[in-house]
Chain A
Amino acid sequence: MSTAYPTTWRKPPQMIQSRGLRIALAVGAVAYLVLAIGSVEVNWTRVIAGIERAQRFVAGFLQPDFNTRWRDISNGLMESLTMTFTSTVVGVLISIPIGVGAARNLAPRWIYLICRSIIAISRALQEIIVAIFFVALFGFGAFAGFLTLTFATIGFIGKLLAEDIEDIDEAQAEAIRATGASWLQLITYAIQPQVMPRLIGLSLYRLDINFRESAVIGIVGAGGIGAALNTSLSRYEYSSAGAILLIIIAIVMMAEYSSGYLRKWVK
């Protein structure tokens, strides 16, 4: 007696095994999409009027005009670059003690909690919102931008550094402790050599992020190239805007390649 073997094969589902749940999810997704797309209000006449502008923008991007607004662009660029560098340096310097304090294996519990909450606050607030407040407090200009980027850097580096310190090889720390080293000696001889390459890599990465962000916070008045971009777009000078965007892309690409290269060299 022969059993009837199946003649066809269906690919089994990879993620969700239950058929009912799959259908429910699909129905839910479709319902959400209908509701969401239904609530998007589009002013079609405005969009059609925008097509001509879009063409002008693409033309401006292909024939960027670096000359007309060169003074604004170079000033903004200089502000962005100096802001990026100073805020990364200061941010990293501040985040080192905070990162050490937020590492569970080094700090007592109350210091750990304080440092973790500083990191959480810095990470939860978007740069733009922080920038709005710093501009309101410290006035327009690069100084507010510098403070914003420093604040954001503390959360970023602090969190990653703390996780790194928690992940170190305990054997080395144990060995240094066995020699009767003080807490400071433990940090310099057991922790610092292990996390230094990562810290330099993270700082370079943050330098890269800070430059990108410095192009944005200018929109709310915190100095840098974002202010020049905002002005040229609100004047509909698309060729200047195209030039600024090309400069931003070029610098970001350069930063990405050189920081990748530097990180390899540090290792």
Chain B
Amino acid sequence: MSIASAETPIWQHRTPRRRLMLWAGWLACVALFVWCWERMTQRTIWAFVWDAPNAAADIGSRAFPPRWSYMERLWGPLWDTINMATLGTLLGIVMAVPLAFLAASNTTPSRLILRPIALFIIVASRSINSLIWALLLVSILGPGILAGILAIALRSIGFIGKLLYEAIEETDISQVEAITATGASQSQILTYGIVPQVLPAFYGISVFRWDINIRESSILGLVGAGGIGAQLNASLNTLAWPQVSLIILVILGTVIVSEWVSAKVRHAVI
């Protein structure tokens, strides 16, 4: 019996070969990490890094308490910020909806030409952050909230377009077939077969994007696109830390409120 127990192999999760490969994989990751770390910190000035706790304490002591009286000059920029997000989202929706119908494989009129173009526009819009769009548009259109609205809209196209075309592709085909069987035209199939199915998803996506856009529009001012970010930039440049802390509190408040609104609406719709 003792012989049998000595020969019974101990249970192990993986075969030796797989374990070896796993270790090699982890080792490669660690090596890559070390190399990246070395490259990244080549130009780091460590004296600044070690001094950071002092700097943090210094900034903290200057930023507190926030300068509440500055609030009266923030209402205007706050209104601009909310408008930038809302109008940008609306403009984005107007452009994204036709693109989504062109990009969805079950509604696209031409699979070979229009669909790849629509998909490329969606990917390009998604891969460029709204801050970069704003940077570009400010250099083209000049500073102001128009650049911000367009930046938000251009970034929203990709987001709304992608989620909406996926929703369109997931629609139930039997409803479309039922409408087709009544002899409906193409546009009637769209309005009675597909649109009612994607409408809840559409509202959900739009409100979700609006929520994200409130976050993003509050910082677009840093590159000159107006709104509360412009005030933040001005305060940072003059090292007015009490104003900075107030502005950040206002941004946080706005973000929390918009998140709450969007969660409520999405809950009601879906």
A residues at B contact (CB < 8 Å): 11, 14-15, 32, 36-37, 39-43, 46-47, 49-50, 53-54, 57, 78-79, 81-83, 85-86, 89, 124-126, 128-129, 132-133, 136-139, 141-143, 146, 212-213, 215-216, 219-220, 226, 229-230, 233-234, 236, 241, 245, 248-249, 252-253, 256
Residues B132 and A216 in contact, CB atoms below 8 Å apart: yes
On whether A212 and B83 interact (CB within 8 A), knowing A46-B141, A132-B236, A142-B43, the answer reads no
Residues A39 and B45 in contact, CB atoms below 8 Å apart: no
Q: Is the interface of A mostly helix, strand, loop or mixed?
A: helix
Q: Of residues A53, A126, A226, A249, which shows the largest number of chain B Cβ atoms within 10 Å of its Cβ? A: A126
Q: Of residues A14, A40, A248, A252, which shows the largest number of chain B Cβ atoms within 10 Å of its Cβ? A: A40
Residues A143 and B36 in contact, CB atoms below 8 Å apart: no
**Complex interface residues of chain B between 91 and 142 (CB less than 8 A to chain A):** 123-124, 126-129, 131-132, 135-136, 139-142
Residues B199 and A14 in contact, CB atoms below 8 Å apart: yes
A sample of 27 cross-chain residue pairs with beta-carbon separation below 8 angstroms, ordered by A number, consists of: A15-B199, A36-B86, A36-B87, A37-B87, A40-B146, A41-B145, A50-B141, A54-B140, A57-B140, A82-B40, A89-B29, A124-B252, A126-B215, A128-B219, A129-B232, A133-B59, A138-B49, A139-B44, A139-B45, A141-B45, A142-B40, A216-B132, A219-B131, A229-B135, A241-B136, A252-B123, A253-B123
A36-B83, A126-B216 known; 8 new pairs, CB 8 Å cut-off, are A15-B199, A39-B79, A85-B36, A86-B33, A137-B59, A142-B40, A245-B132, A252-B126
CB closest chain-A residue, reference B218: A126
Residues A41 and B131 in contact, CB atoms below 8 Å apart: no
Chain A residues whose C-beta falls within 8 Å of the C-beta of B86 in the assembled complex: 32, 36
Residues A212 and B127 in contact, CB atoms below 8 Å apart: yes
B residues at A contact (CB < 8 Å): 29, 32-33, 36-37, 39-41, 43-45, 48-49, 52, 55-56, 59, 79-80, 83, 86-87, 123-124, 126-129, 131-132, 135-136, 139-142, 144-146, 149, 192, 196, 199-200, 203, 215-216, 218-219, 222-223, 232, 236, 248, 251-252, 255-256, 269
Residues A89 and B139 in contact, CB atoms below 8 Å apart: no
CB closest chain-B residue, reference A142: B40
On whether A86 and B219 interact (CB within 8 A), knowing A42-B146, A233-B136, the answer reads no
Residues B55 and A47 in contact, CB atoms below 8 Å apart: no
Residues A85 and B127 in contact, CB atoms below 8 Å apart: no
Chain B residues whose C-beta falls within 8 Å of the C-beta of A236 in the assembled complex: 139
CB closest chain-A residue, reference B259: A124
Chain B residues whose C-beta falls within 8 Å of the C-beta of A143 in the assembled complex: 40-41, 44, 49
Complex: A124 Cα to B32 Cα, angstroms? 31
On whether A220 and B142 interact (CB within 8 A), knowing A40-B83, A143-B44, the answer reads no
A6, chain B: closest CB distance, angstroms: 18
Complex: A129 Cα to B222 Cα, angstroms? 10
Residues B139 and A234 in contact, CB atoms below 8 Å apart: yes
In-complex Cβ contact of A248 among B44, B128, B142 (8 A): B128
Complex: A248 Cα to B127 Cα, angstroms? 7
Residues B37 and A82 in contact, CB atoms below 8 Å apart: yes
On whether A137 and B56 interact (CB within 8 A), knowing A50-B141, A57-B140, A146-B40, the answer reads yes
B248, chain A: closest CB distance, angstroms: 6
Residues A85 and B142 in contact, CB atoms below 8 Å apart: no
